[in-house]
Structure 1
Amino acid sequence: MSGFKSFVDPTTIRVNGKLVGVVGPNGCGKSNIIDAVRWVLGESRASELRGESMHDVIFNGTTQRKPAGRASVELIFDNTDGRIAGQWGQYGELAVKRVLTREGGSTYFINNVAVRRRDIQDIFLGTGLGPRAYAIIGQGMIARIIEARPEELRTFLEEAAGVSKYRERRRETENRLFDTRENLNRVSDILHELDQSLEKLKVQADLAERYHQLKETQERQQKLLWFLQKKNALKEQSELAFEIGKEQTVLEMLSADMFKHEAELEKLRQIHDFANESVHKAQGDLYQTNSEIGSLEAQIRYVIESRKRLQAQIVSYTEQKDQWTKQISSFVDEANEGKDNLVELSQQKEIAHELFLQQQEEMPGLENELDILREQAQEMHDHIVQIRQQIAVASTNHKNLSTNLFDCQSRREKLLSQKEQIDVPDMEELAFLKQEKAEAEQQLEELRFTEESQRDLVPEFEESCIEIEKRLKECNAACIQEEARLLALKQIQEKTQGTGKAQGWLEKHGLSDFHPLWQDIQIETGWETALESVLMERIFARGLSSLDWTESFLKDKPPVKTCFFASDSENRMRKEEASQPYESFSSRIQYQNDRIRPVLENWLYGVYAIDSMNEALSRRKTLPDGACFILPDGHIIDRYSVRFFAAESESEGVFSRQQEITRLEESHQKHKLEQSRLIEEFRGAESRLKELNSKIQHIHSETNVQVQRLHDLQMKILKLEELNRRFKDQSEQIDTALAELDEFRQEKELELAGEEKRLEELDMTLGEWQQKEADFLETVAGKEDELKVLREKVHQAERSAQQAEYDERALVKRLDELARQIETAEKQVQMVSGSLNQGQLELQDLDDKVAQENLQVLLDRRMTQEEALAQSRQHLDDLAGQLRTLMERRLQTERSLQPQRDKIVAVQLKEQAARINVEQFDQKLLEAGADIVALNNMLPDNARVSTFQTEIGRLNAEIDGLGPVNLGAAIELNEASNRKKYLEEQFQDLTDAIATLEDAIRRIDRETRSLLKNTFDEVNQSLNELFPVLFGGGHAQLSMTGEEILDAGIQIMAQPPGKKNATIHLLSGGEKALTAIALVFSLFKLNPAPFCLLDEVDAPLDDANTERFSNMVTKMSSQTQFLYISHNRIAMEMAEELVGVTMQEQGVSRIVTVDINDAANFSDEVLRA
C-alpha cells in the first residue's frame, strides 16, 4: 500500500501463515487494511470504504505532511495450485493492483498489465470475493447480515452457489436479446418503408419512361427549329450584304465632295493668314506709337508732381529751422545756471570729506582691539564645539552600537526561527519516487513497444478486409446477375408451358397437370436444338394411359398442334436399326421414366446423330429409305434433301434453357454459399480490425496516462531535489550568518563600553569651558558697543560726503549733456538750411515744354496708323466671311457622312447578328449531334418558326406537367428490390437469433435454479452442523419466502439452547452475531474462499463464545487463509502471526510484524539461558 488512507508511506504486509491477526489501538488504521483489499478488488461505492467520495481513500495530509497525489494498493496471490481459471491461470503468481490519482484516473493492473475493473471482478466471480463478497466481513457487516432483508440474504447464497457468473451471462444474453429485437424492429420498419418506396418507384419509373419519350420528341422538334432558323439567318445575311455594298457607294461619293471642299478651304485659309499678318503688323505699329505717347505723358505728370512736392518740402524745412533755433537758445540759458551751482557744490563736498577722514582715523585701533578679543572668544567657542562634536560622535556611536547589538540579537533570533521553519525534505519519499519513476519508464517503454507492434498489424488487417470486401462485391455482382438471368429464363420457361391457346383447352379436359414430354428426358449437352428440331411439337406431348381418350377430342379439337402418346407402350427395338453402322440419335437421350423410352425410340427411328455437315453430305447416299442425319444445330439431311433449322417462337430452345437454368441454379447456390462465407469472413476481419484499433487506442490512452504519470513523477522528484538543495543551502547560510553575528556582537559590546567611558570624560570638560566662554563674552560685548557708536558716526559723515560728490557729478553730467544738445541743434539747423537751398534749386530746374511738343507729334502719327489698321481689318473680315461660307458647305457635307456611316454600321450589325445566329444555330446543331441532311429532308417546304415554337412549347408544357421526374427510378427500383431481398434474409436471421437467445436464457434459468436449490440444501445442512458447535446446542435453518427460488428471499430461523424457535431479529446481540457467523461459515464450508478477512467480528462475543469462535476459525484455516482484526486476547492467541499497526506519527500508520512461533522459540531460549 502507498498513499492509501493513513498508509501514506509504501507499506508491505506479508501474510505467510494461515491465521494472521492484526492488532493495535483504536484509530491506528487497522480497518484500512480491509478497506484496501475491498478497494483493489473493484469496490466502487465510497460508503463501503467509509468515505463520502472515492478520493477519500487518498492520504489527505496531516499537520506535518502534505496530502498525497495518488493511492496505490497491490495484492499478490500464490497460484501454484492453479485455482484461478481463465487466461490468468497459467501464472504461478498473480498481482492485482489499483492506482487512483486526484485527477480522477483509476487504473487496474494484473501482473503489471493494464486491465478493466470487470476483468478483475471476473477472476473472483463465484469465490465469495465478488461485489457481494461474504469472505470480506468488515465492521458492521455482521449487523448488516442480521438486519438484511430476505432478498439481500439471497445474494450471499447466490455468491456461495457461484451463480454470479450465470447472472452475468444471463444479463449479457438479455442485452443481446434486447439489441436483436431492436434490430428486428428496425429491419421490419425498413421493410415496411421499402415496400412503400417500391410502389412509388414503380410509378416514378413509368413517369420517367414517358419523360424520355416526350424529351426525345422535343429534342427532334428543337433541332428542326434550329435548322429552320439557320436557313432564315443565312437568307437574311445575304440580303444585308447587298445593302451594305449599295450604301458604301453613296458614302464614297460624299467623301469625294468632302475632299473638294477641303482643298478650296485650304487655299482660302492661306490668303486669310496673309491678311491676318498685315493686320497684326499695323496693330504692332499702333501699339508702339501708343507706348511712346504713354511714356511722354508719364514724364509730364512726373514734372508736375515733383514741382508740388518740392514746394511742400521748402515750407517744411523753413518751419524746422525756426524750431531748432529756439531750442539752442533754451539750452544756453540752462548751461549758464548750472555752472554757478557747480561751484557751491564743490565747497560742500570738501567740508564733508574732511569730517569723514577725521572720524575714520579713530576706528582701526578700536577694531583691532575688538578683533583680538573676538579671536580669543572664537577659539574658546571652537574648542567647546569640538568637545560637543566629540560628545555627539560618541553619543551617535553609542546609539549605533546599541542599535547594532539589538539588530544583531533580532537577526539572530530570526535566523534561528528560519532554521526551525525550513521544510525538511522527505528523502524516503524521494527514493520511492525515483524507484517508481524507473518502473514507470520501463512500463512506458513496454507500452510503446506494444503499441508499435500492434500498429504494424493494422495494414495487414486492413488489406485483408479490403481483399475480402472486394471478393464479396464480386460475389454479390455474380449473384445478382445470376438471379436476373434465372428469373428471365424461368419466366420464359413458365410462359412456354403455361400460356397460349392450348392451356385453356388442356385445363378444360383435365390435362393441365400432365407433364410435357421434355420434363422427363435429358439430352447430352449440345444436342438440345437437334432434339427440338426432330420432335417439333411432340416435345410438348403428354402421356395418356390410353389413346382411346383422344376420340373424345374430335368433338372439341385443340386450338393448336397438340400431341399425345400412350404411356403404356412396350419397349421394342427394331432390328434393322441395330444393324446400321450409324449412331442412333436416341442413344444420346436419358430417361427419367422408362415408360416413355419406346415412344421416343419409335419417333426417332431412322434418325442418326452426326457431328458435321460435310460428313453428313458425303454419307447421305448410304442412308436407308426414310432415315436421316441430325446435326447438333438441328439441321436434318436425308438422301434427297437438307432442311435447315431455325427457331420460330419462344417455345424453341426449351431444353437448352432448362439446362442453363439448372447450371445457373447450381452456380447461384455456390455463389450464395460463398457469399455467406465471405460475409462471415468479412465480419470477422472487420471485428478483428475494430478490436485491434480499439486495443491500439486503449494502449495509446494508457501510454498517454503513463507519460503524464512519468511527467508528474519527474516534477515531484525535481521538486524534492530542489527542496533538498535549498534546505542544505539555507542551513549552511544560516549557520554562517549566526557565527558572523556572534563575532560581530562581541566586538560591538567592547566598543560600547569604551564609548560610555569617553562620554563621561567629555561631559566634565564641556562644563569647564562653557563657564570660561561666558565670562569672556561679557568683555567682548562692551568693546562691540563702543565700536558700534563710532561706526555710526563714520557712516553718517561718509553719507554726507557721498551725497555732495553725487550732486556734483550729476550737475557736471547735465552740463555735458546740454553742450551736446546745443551742438546737435546747431547741426540740424545747418542740415535744414542745406536741404532748403537744394529744394529751391530743383524747383527751378523742372520744365515740360519739350515733352509737350513731342507728344503732339506722336498723336498725329497714331491717327494715321489707326486708319490703316481699320482698312486691313475690313479686308480680313471679308476673307473670314468667305472662309465661313466654305466651312459651312464642308460641314454640311461632313454631317451627311456620319449618318451614312451610321446607316452602314447599322446594316453591318444586322449582317453580323445574322452571321452570329447562323454560327449559334450551327453550334447548337453540332452539339446536339444533328444530321443536317436528314433535317433538310424532314423540314416541310412551308415550315414556319412559330409553328415549331408552338409545338416545342406544347411539349415543354407537357414535360412540365409531369412534375418532378426521378430519372434514376429504374436503377433505384432494381437496387431497392435487391435490398428488400437482402433485408428479408436478415429478418429471418434475426428471428432465428431471437429464438436461440430465448432458449439460452431458459437454459441458464434451469441451471441457475438447480444450482441454487442444491446450494440452499447444502448450506442449510452446514448451518445445522455449525450452529450447535457455536452455541453448544440448539438448532437453526434457512427458509424461503416464496415458491420460485430465483426470486424468493431467505430467512434465518434460529433456536439457541433452551429457547423457542424464532427469527434472528428476536435474539440478543451476541446470539445474533453468532448466528450470522454460523451462516457465513456455512457458506464458506460449501464454497471455501481462497482467503477471508474479518474485522472485529468477535467484538460482541464473551470469552466462552470467543473461544468457540476461535476453535472454528482454526479448524477452517486448513482450507482458507484468515486475516482478522481483533482486540480480544483469546482471538490473538490463535494467530500464527501478528501484524501490529501503530500510529506514532499522528495520522500515519505503520506496520510491525511478529511471528508467534519465532517469538515463542526466542522466549524459550531466553528462559533456558
Structure 2
Amino acid sequence: MRLKEIKLAGFKSFVDPTHIPIPGQIVGVVGPNGCGKSNVIDAVRWVLGESSARHLRGETMQDVIFNGAGERKPGNRASVELMFDNSLSKVSGEWASYAEISIKRVLEREGASEYYINGIHVRRRDVADLFLGTGVGARAYGIIEQGMISQIIEAKPEELRVFLEEAAGVSKYRERRRETELRIGDTRDNLQRVTDIREELEKQLEHLQAQAEVAAKYKELQEALNNAHQLLWLVRKSEAVAQRARLNRELERATVEVDAELARLREAERRGEELRVSFYAASDRVSAAQGEFFQAGSEVARLEQQLQFMRASRARVESQLAQARTDLEQCTAQQVQSRASREDWRSKLDEATTQLEALMARVAAESERLPQAESAFQDAQEAARELRDELARIDQQAHVQEARREHAQKLLQQLEVRAARLEQERAALVLPDDDALAGLRAELQTYEAERRDLRERLERNDAELPRLEQHAREAQQSAEATASRITALDARRSALEALQARLARGEHMKSWLERHALEGHKRLWQGMRIEQGWEDALEAVLEERLNAVAVERLEAGQSWWHESPPAKFAIYSAENGSSLADAQPWQGLHPLVAFVTCLDGSVATVLGEWLQGVYVADSAAAALELRHHAPPGHTLVTREGHVFTRHSVSFHAPDSELHGVLSRQREIDQIGEQIAAEAVVLGDRRRGAEEREEALAQLRNRIASLRFEIDSTQERTHALELEILRVSEQADRSTQRGAQIATELGEIATQIEQESEQNAIALAGLERLREERHDLDARLREADDGFRRCEQALAEQRRALQTVEREAQAASFSQRTCVQRIEDLDAALQVLDEQHGRLSKSEQELEVDLSRFDETSLAAELQTALAVRAEREDALAKVRDDQQGLESELRTAEQQRLESEQRVDPLRNRIGELRLKEQEARLTEEQFERQLAEAGADEDALRNQLERGVRSSHLNTEIARLGEEIAALGAVNLAALEELNVARERKVYLDAQSADLEQALETLETAIRRIDRETRELLGKTFEEVNRHFGEMFPSLFGGGTARLALTGEEILDAGIQVIAQPPGKRNSSIHLLSGGEKALTALSLIFSMFQLNPAPFCLLDEVDAPLDDSNTIRFCNLLKKMAAETQFMFISHNKLTMEIAEQLVGVTMQELGVSRVVAVDIDEALKLTEKQAA
C-alpha cells in the first residue's frame, strides 16, 4: 500500500486547498524555517487519529484549524485526506477489495470531528484498526517527528516496548486485549450490579412474600366471604323461590276454591230465580183454580168463593211480603257488612298511602342528601389531592432552590479562581514595540510590488489552464465512454457466448456424450445462420435436432444403440451432399431453407434433408387456406413457429432450452462487428486525448515555473509578514488582552455579586418553602381526616337510602293489596245493590196487591162462596201445596246463596294476602338474583357447595367470622401477589443474566489467556529478530561497534526494553553518555531494524538527520535508498546531502504571511530539462 497524495484544507497554515502528490518512493519536503513543513507531518499524524493537542504542537484540538493571517479571516473547518494505492490488496478486511483507499478527517470549529474511509463515515477506531500491526499510526514508529529520535533513545523501557509491539504486529492483539479487558471490566461491573440487584431483589422477595401471604390470605378470606355472601344470597333466593312456589300453589288452591264457591253461588242464584219463577207460576195456577172454583158455583157461591179467594190471596201476599221483607233485611245486613269492610280497607288504604307518601318523601330526602354527601366526599378528596399536589410542587421548588444554591456556590468558587488567574495574566503582559513594526512594514512594501507583477503573469496562465483542462477532460471522458461501450458490448458478448457454450456442452447429456466420445463435437446450430424473424419457425421445425452433433459416419457409433441417451438427441453425418439452393418455391411460397445460410457443407446436407418440403407462410390464415392443396409430406410454418400440415396444426411455444439459440448467435456476430467499429473510434479519441494532455502539461510547467519564481520572491515577504504579524499580534494581543482582562474582571465582580445574591435568595426560598411544607403537612392531615369522615358519611347515607327504599317497596305492595281488596268489595256491593233493588220492588208490588183486598164488602157474600169453595177445595189445596213446596225450596236456595257469599269473602281475603306474600317473595328472589348476577356467581357451582340443611343463619355466622378475620389482617397490599410474580420473573431473568455474564466472563478470560499466549510467542520471536537486525544495522551505520536489546524483566508481556549500544572504540556504561549524533544513529538503527522485520507502508521523517555529520548522513542516505525498495519514505530536511537522494522535492513556502503553499519538483524531470538546456 503506497501513499499517493496528501490533501489539506484549512489545516494550520495550509488555509487553501493543497494537494501534495507523492509519486516516488523517496520524497523530500524542503523549505525555510517556519514555513509549515512540519505541519505536513502533523497533518498525517492527525488524520491517522491523533487526539492529543500537545503531540500536534497545540494547546487545544481547535488549534489545528487556520487561525487567520493578515487579511484572511480565521477558518471554521480543517480537513486532511490521505490517498493510498491498494492495487496489490495489502489492506485486509472489508477495504481489501478497493484499489484506492481514501482516509479523511474533518474538524469543525464547534468541535465536531469526523472520519471517513472512501467517503464512508467511520469511527476513529476504524481508522486505527486499518493500520494495526503495520507500523503506521498516530504514535507508531512509521512517523518520526522532530525531537522524537532523542525521545526514542532516552525513552523508558516500557515506552520502547510499544515500538517492539508495533513491529511484531501485536498492536492489534494489544487492542483486542485492551477491548477484552474493558469488556471484562464492564462484564464484572454488570455482574456486580446484577448481583447487587439480585441481593436487593431477594430482600424484596422476602418482604413481598410476607405481603403476598397476607394478600393471599386476604384474597382467600375475601373469596370465602364473597362465596359465603353468594351462598347466603343463593339460599335466600332458593328460600324465596320455594316460598313463592308454595304461595303460588296455595294461591292456585285458593283461587280454585273461590272459583268453585262462586260457581256454587251463581248456581244458587240461578236456582233461586228459577224457583221464584216457578213459585210465581204456581201462584198463578192457584188463582186460576180459585177462579174456576168461583165460576162453577152460583152467584152466592161465587161471592163466597171470591171472599175465600180474597182471604187466601191476602194470606199468600202477606206471606210473600214477609218473606220479601226478611230477604231485604238480610241483603241490607250484607250491604252494611260489605260497606263496613270496604271502609275498613279504605282506611287501610289511606294508612298505606300515607305511609308510602311518607316513605317516598324520606326516599326523596335521603336521595337529596346523597348528592350532598357525594359532593362533600368529592370536595374532600379534591382538597386532599390539591394539597398533595401543592406539597409536591413545594418539594420540587425546594429541589430547584437547592440546586440553584449549589450552582451559585460552585460558580462563586469558579469565578474567584478565574479572577485570580486573570490578575496573574494581566501582570505578565508585554508592551508592544511600534518602531520595529514600522520598519518591517516599509520593507514589506518593496517586496509586494515585485510579487504583484509575477502574480499577473501567473493569473494569465491560470486563466488558460481551465480551458485546456476542460478540453483534455472532455477528450478523456469521450475515450472512456467509448471504452465503456466496448466493455459493455464485450461483457454482453461474453455472457451470450457463455450461454451458447453451456448449451453446446449439454450438462444433462454430458456423461452420455463423454462415454461415447461425443463431448466437444460441433452442434448443428453452430454451423448455420438464419434471417432475422424466422428463428422461431426453424426452432419449431427442427426442435431437438437443432442441437444435433456432427460425426464422421453414423456407422461408427455401434455403442449408441445399446445405451440410449437420457433425453431426446440427434446425430447427423458430416457428409457433403445437395446444397440448400436446390429447393424450389411452391404455390408462391419460399422454402424455409431459403432463409438459412450454412457455414459448411455437412450442415447444408442435413438441413436439406430435414427441411425438405417445409415452406413458410406469411400468416396463419394463409397457411390454413393453402394446407388443403399441399401434397403429402409438405409442411407450412409461420414466423411464430406454428406448423400446419394437411390435417393438423401444431402451435409453437418457447418451452425448450434451445429457444433463442439462433437469435443469440446472430446477436453475438452483430456485437463483434460493433466492437470492431468502436475500437477504431477509441483509437482516434485516445490519440486526441494524448495531444491535449501534452498541451496541458506544457501549460502546467509554465505555471509551475512562474509559481516557483513567485515563491522565491515571496519567501522574504512571508518572513516579513510573519514577523509583522507576530509583532502586531503580540501588540494587539497585549492591548486587547489587557482590556479583555479588565472587562472580564468587572464581569466577574458583577457575577460574584449576582451569584451571592442568588445564593441568599435561594437560602431564603428554601426556608420559606420548609415553613410552607410544614403548614401543608398539617393541612393535609386535616384534609385526610375530613376525607375519611366524608367517606364514612357517604357510606351511611347510601345504607339509609337503601333501607328507606326497601320500606317504600313494602308500603307500595300494601297499597296495591288494599286497592285490590276495595275493588273486590265494590264488585260485591254492586251485586248486593242490584239484589236489594229487586227485593224492594217485589215488596212494593206485594204491598200494592195486599191493599186491593177489601174483606168487609165481601163478608156478606162469603156464605155464598162457601159452597163453591167446597167443591174446588181439594184442587185448590193441591195447588197450594205445590206453591208451598216451591216456596220452601226458594227459601232453601236463598239460604244456600247467602252461605256461599259468606264463604267467598274469607277466600278472597286469603287470595289477597297470598298475592302480597308471593310478590314479596318474587322481589326478594329478584334482589338476590341481581346480587348474584352483579357478583358474576356460578349458581350451579354454588349449589354443589351447599349442604343439605344449610340455613341462612349459619351462613350469617360464617360471614361475620370471615369479616372479623379480614379485619384482623389489617392493611393489605393487594398488589403484592402480582409484584411478587413480577419480582420472581425478574429474579429468574437476573439469574439467567448472571449465568450468562459469568459464562461471558469465563469466555473473555479464556480469550485474554489465548491472546497473551499468542502475543508472548510473537513478541519473543520479534524480539530475537529485531535484536539480530539491530546488532547488524548498528555496525553498518557506525562503521563498527556493538549494540543489542535487553529485557528488563522475565515476562516479555510486561517487561520493558533497554538499548545497550557501544560505538567503535567506546566502552560507555549507559546510552545517555552518547553524543547527540550517536544517539540519533542508534535510534535510527533501532527504527530501521524494526522496519526490516515489519516494513511499514510508508515512513515520515522530520529532520532526523539534523544532528548527523556528513559521513553519517551519507550512511543514513544509503540506508534510506536501500530500504526504499519496500518502504515509501517522506522526509523533511535542511541537509543538501539528504535532499540529493529524493526522487521528488516538495517545496513549502510562505509568500503570504501565515499561509503555506506547496511547490513540487520532480528531480529526474528537472535533470532532464537541465541536460536539454545545456545541450
Q: Give the TM-score of the pair, scaled to structure 1.
A: 0.40
For the pair shown, the structure with the greater C-alpha radius of gyration is: 1
Q: Give the TM-score of the pair, scaled to structure 2.
A: 0.40
